[in-house]
Amino acid sequence: MKDLKDIKNRAEKEVSSARNNETIRQVFQKYLGKKGEVTLILRSLKDLPEKKRKEIGKLANAIRQELEEKITIKGRAIGAKVERNKPKKRIDFSFPGHKLTTGHLHPITQVEREVEDIFQRLGFSVIEGPEVESEWYNFDALNIPANHPARDMWDTFWLRSNQKIPISKFQIPNKSKIKNKNQNLLLRTHTSPVQVRYMEKHNPPLRIIVPGRTFRYEATDASHEINFYQVEGLMVDKKISAANMKAIMERFFEMFFRQSAKIRLRPSFFPFTEPSFEVDVRCLICGGKGCSVCSKRGWLEMAGAGMVHPQVFKSAGLNPRNWQGFAFGMGLDRLTMMKYKIDDVRLLYKGDLRFLEQF
């Protein structure tokens, strides 16, 4: 009992004279730690006769509890003092702030917006159409009936046959002439279906462009993807000729590439234009010398184009005797590649941030 009281006195003195965290920790170890003086007494209780055990045990436990409280209070007081004495943090207002990383538009979207902007300045409106299209608008209405060999030009992703829609649902001037009474659905292979969709509802004169996503079931390479983007152009009025088309396209390429871009028209075939052209631009990546993007030709095919076929006017319910027009369909991916000198279209769809962050 005397030893215990002595321990208590010593411990209390040491607690009150402790000035820092380390000394208070040492006091704790010395008296209450695993081999601490109070702990050892508590452990030795089992060897004492019952009466003594009760007496000494009671006192030892009370001392342990009291000491524990005192050490905790002292520890807190030391902690608070340390905190008070810490030098105040100064804010340096001249220090540069943290840069916030923000996302940005995909290069194709940037190009799409620029194309829209240029054509709007040339008097064109921007129109949209559905990506899931009917066989009628994608083919029949564009003078490509079922079984016509020209359908092979556009390798098609067809949708499941139980999703057919009856021909009665369409605003077709002469429904009886359509062979496929139940129309298959497909992923549009080009943006041209929107020509007919728009002319059904709007009377000429008109000037529109239709940017959008298109799909083709074909092998991919440096300049071909199965999912790509086109922008359709359509201008209809009383007297429109191929010369108007060439002027508009040349003006567009100049504004887009901000340099004189060389273009050439090659005779071509599209069932929905007559005459038809392929519009090539001198390859800006190799300067015309020949590279993988232009398949060593020095020219890159950018668009199909031509004068609107009378059959297309008829599909839209317009009299071809009254109207003339030109149409074109440009590859937005190809425009993006030329603008930023990208040598593989597939890079645009990989979602690789190391590539995309450069734009």
Contact stretch for ligand FA5 (CB under 6 A) within 10-18, 19-27, 61-69, 226-234: 226-234
As a whole number of angstroms, the distance between CA 301 and CA 266 comes to 10
Give the count of residues interacting with ligand FA5 (CB under 6 A). Answer: 24
The DSSP annotation for 98-119 comes to: PPPP-----HHHHHHHHHHHHH
Q: Which is nearer to ligand FA5, 140 or 232 (CB)?
A: 232
| Pattern 246-285, ligand FA5, x by CB under 6 A | ------------------------x--x------------
For residue 180, the one-letter residue type is N
CB of 162 to ligand FA5, least distance (A): 28
Q: Which residue matches tokens 């090659």? A: 266
Q: Residue 139 CB, nearest distance to ligand FA5 (Å)?
A: 11
C-beta of 312: minimal distance to ligand FA5 in Å? 9
E strands, the chain, where? 125-126, 132-134, 165-166, 182-183, 185-187, 206-215, 227-237, 263-270, 273-282, 299-308, 324-331
Q: What is the DSSP string of 256-276?
A: HHTS---EEEEEEEETTEEEE
* By the rule CB under 6 A, 345 interacts with ligand FA5: yes
Q: Pick from 313, 334, 337, 348 the residue near ligand FA5 by CB under 6 A.
A: 334
Where does this chain touch ligand FA5 (CB under 6 A) — which range of 39-47, 88-96, 106-114, 295-303?
A: 295-303
> What are the structure tokens assigned to 45, written together?
């209780």
Place of tokens 């002439």: 177
Amino acid letter, 121: R
The residue from 301, 309, 336, 342 that contacts ligand FA5 (CB under 6 A) is: 301
Residue among 190, 197, 207, 309 that touches ligand FA5 (CB under 6 A): 190
CA distance 60 to 64: 6
Choose the binding region for ligand FA5 from 7-15, 310-318, 322-330, 348-356 (rule: CB under 6 A).
Answer: 322-330
Residues 356 and 106: beta-carbon distance below 8 Å:
yes
Q: How near is the Cβ of 357 to ligand FA5 at its closest, in Å?
A: 23
Q: What number of residues does the chain have?
A: 359
The residue whose Cβ lies closest to ligand FA5 is: 331
Choices 59-67, 133-141, 286-294, 302-310 (CB under 6 A): range interacting with ligand FA5 = 302-310
Strands 185-187 and 125-126: unpaired
Q: Which residues bind ligand FA5 (CB under 6 A)?
A: 190, 192, 216, 218, 224-225, 228, 230, 232, 270, 273, 301-306, 327-329, 331, 333-334, 345
